[in-house]
């Protein structure tokens, strides 16, 4: 278990916060779909002496000396990512998912070009063209969403929008979409209008490498992913692309946007890729999906409305409108019950993005702890009990006691 002895010695104030967070992670169930628990090996790399090094440039072409081992670390990470995803070219230097997406646009587009992505309030990401984001300020944005009647992306509508606006970049991928993406259909549409096809698989890359979600590779031109969500690596990202875009992407990352890569994170990514190649990881990914289905089915049985009626992946989007509770109050009540979720807009939400009507749930972190379908059904019933009386603190505390007891049987890597 991480005991933070050195930190305790220099900074007792911060130490207390870290102990508190460790306890929170151990005694609650993490249901935010973008979060996970990394392995002890990944944790070790992130807290290692590799953080001491500067290595601007790429392996063999650096602007600093002493790269004998760092070049090997980065080449190993690149090689493993290529193999894991079946990619032609990989850049492992992006600091996180948002900078990775910005690098793609910065490298392949001119300011003012038209891009097409999924609307944020229907499941897309900030960097897919939201007005206040770099992407929305620098490019002309057209968006697609989901159908009102079934909560699913309508590929005929996507094609119509693309034909009408002829974007230079077509982005597929989402942060809050519980169904499968038809990456092949997106590529066909991009080809039809002469656009570059980009897939942002941040949420689902762990499912993709395990074969439980169709892969956008090798046919999609550019694929970005964070490494810390279902892929269960360090807080970071990578960009994969066809060879013809490699130079522009690499130049956009460095020197276009970033300085020195975070070598300790690169090492942690290499480890995570190796872990994701193991047969156990396939079992893990299959269990994530089985757990999400069990959670969804039990929530439906408890009378909850789910966007699109269920899930094909790792997440469930709950529309609380008919329960008479807003997302924020549900999030707060569930926090008190030891169940960590986030409030989220639902498609065609009548409330504002700051106080939306839904909550988003996911199973990657709980599955890492070894929880399976019976535990997910318990989670759904706890959610029902908490949300039916969101201001009853005694009831919420009683649920947290039960949650804590169950969690004791499912240790967290690095915490116990």
Ligand X SMILES: *Cc1c(COP(=O)(O)O)cnc(C)c1O
Annotated active-site positions, please?
54, 56, 200, 226, 229, 235
Residue 200 interacts with ligand X (CB under 6 A)? Answer: yes
CB of 290 to ligand X, least distance (A): 22
d(CA 170, CA 320): 32
Considering only the stretches 54-62, 105-113, 169-177, 260-268, report the one whose residues sit in contact with ligand X under the rule CB under 6 A: 169-177
d(CA 371, CA 205): 21
CB of 102 to ligand X, least distance (A): 9
d(CA 233, CA 227): 5
Residue 135 interacts with ligand X (CB under 6 A)? Answer: no
Minimal CB distance to ligand X: which residue? 97
Give the number of residues in contact with ligand X, rule: CB under 6 A: 15
Restricted to residues 71-100, the positions that interact with ligand X (CB under 6 A) are 96-98
Considering only the stretches 168-176, 282-290, 292-300, 403-411, report the one whose residues sit in contact with ligand X under the rule CB under 6 A: 168-176
- Binding marks (x or -) toward ligand X, 236..265, rule CB under 6 A? -x----------------------------
Residue 203 interacts with ligand X (CB under 6 A)? Answer: yes
Residue 226 interacts with ligand X (CB under 6 A)? Answer: yes
Question: What is the DSSP secondary-structure string of 352-389?
Answer: -TTS-SEEEEE-HHHHHTT--HHHHHHHHHHHHHHHHS
Residue 127 interacts with ligand X (CB under 6 A)? Answer: yes
Q: Which one of residues 28, 107, 129, 173 is an interface residue with ligand X (CB under 6 A)?
A: 173
Question: What is the DSSP secondary-structure string of 153-221?
Answer: B-HHHHHHHHHHH--SEEEE--SS--S---HHHHHHHHHHTTPEEEEE-TTTHHHHHTTSS---TTTSS
Nearest to 144 by CA among 127, 122, 126, 113: 122
CB of 235 to ligand X, least distance (A): 7
Q: Write the CB contacts of 160 (distance below 8 Å, at least 6 apart in sequence).
A: none
Q: Which one of residues 28, 34, 183, 403 is an interface residue with ligand X (CB under 6 A)?
A: 34
Residue 36 interacts with ligand X (CB under 6 A)? Answer: no
- Take residue 207 and report the two structure tokens written for it: 């499912």
Sign of CA dihedral 258, 217, 166, 150: negative
Q: Could you tell me if 337 and 396 are in contact, meaning their C-beta atoms sit under 8 angstroms apart?
A: yes
Q: Could you tell me if 366 and 359 are in contact, meaning their C-beta atoms sit under 8 angstroms apart?
A: no
**In 3-state terms, the chain is what percent helix, strand and coil (to 5)?**
50, 15, 35
- Take residue 36 and report the two structure tokens written for it: 């996970």
CB of 337 to ligand X, least distance (A): 25
Considering only the stretches 58-66, 163-171, 198-206, 298-306, report the one whose residues sit in contact with ligand X under the rule CB under 6 A: 198-206
CB of 126 to ligand X, least distance (A): 7
Cβ proximity to ligand X: between 114 and 127 the closer is 127
Residue 202 interacts with ligand X (CB under 6 A)? Answer: yes
- Residues of this chain that bind ligand X (CB under 6 A): 34, 96-98, 101, 125, 127, 173-175, 200, 202-203, 226, 237
């Amino acid at each position: 278990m991480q005991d933070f002895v050195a930190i305790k010695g220099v900074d007792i104030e911060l130490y207390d916060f870290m102990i508190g967070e460790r306890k929170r992670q151990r005694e609650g169930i993490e249901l935010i779909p973008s979060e996970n628990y990394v392995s002890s090996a990944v944790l070790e790399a992130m807290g290692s002496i590799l953080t001491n090094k500067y290595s601007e440039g790429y392996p063999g072409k650096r602007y600093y000396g002493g790269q004998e081992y760092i070049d090997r670390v980065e080449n190993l990470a690149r090689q493993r990512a290529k193999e894991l995803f079946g990619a032609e070219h990989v850049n492992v230097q992006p600091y996180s998912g948002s900078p990775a997406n910005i690098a793609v646009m910065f490298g392949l587009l001119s300011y003012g070009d038209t891009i097409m992505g999924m609307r944020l309030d229907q499941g897309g990401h900030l960097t897919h063209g939201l007005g206040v984001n770099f992407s929305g300020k620098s490019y002309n944005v057209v968006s697609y969403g989901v159908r009102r009647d079934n909560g699913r992306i309508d590929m005929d509508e996507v094609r119509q929008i693309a034909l009408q606006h002829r974007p230079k970049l077509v982005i597929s991928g989402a942060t809050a979409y519980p169904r499968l993406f038809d990456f092949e259909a997106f590529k066909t549409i991009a080809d039809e209008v002469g656009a570059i096809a980009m897939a942002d698989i941040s949420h689902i890359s762990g499912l993709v490498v395990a074969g439980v979600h169709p892969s956008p590779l090798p046919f999609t031109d550019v694929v970005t992913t964070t490494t810390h969500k279902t892929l269960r690596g360090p807080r970071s990202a990578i960009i994969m692309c066809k060879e013809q875009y490699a130079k522009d992407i690499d130049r956009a990352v460095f020197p276009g946007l970033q300085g020195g890569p975070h070598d300790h994170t690169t090492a942690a990514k290499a480890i995570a890729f190796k872990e994701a190649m193991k047969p156990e990881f396939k079992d893990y990914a299959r269990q994530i999906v089985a757990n999400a289905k069990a959670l969804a089915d039990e929530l439906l049985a408890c009378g909850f409305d789910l966007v699109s009626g269920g899930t094909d992946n790792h997440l469930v989007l709950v529309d609380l409108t008919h329960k008479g509770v807003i997302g924020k109050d549900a999030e707060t009540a569930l926090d008190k019950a030891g169940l960590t979720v986030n409030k989220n807009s639902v498609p065609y939400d009548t409330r504002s993005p700051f106080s939306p009507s839904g909550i988003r749930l996911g199973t990657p972190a709980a599955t890492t702890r070894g929880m399976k379908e019976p535990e997910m059904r318990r989670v759904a019933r706890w959610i029902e009990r908490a949300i039916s009386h969101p201001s009853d603190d005694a009831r919420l505390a009683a649920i947290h006691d039960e949650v804590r007891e169950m969690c004791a049987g499912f240790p967290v890597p690095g915490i116990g």
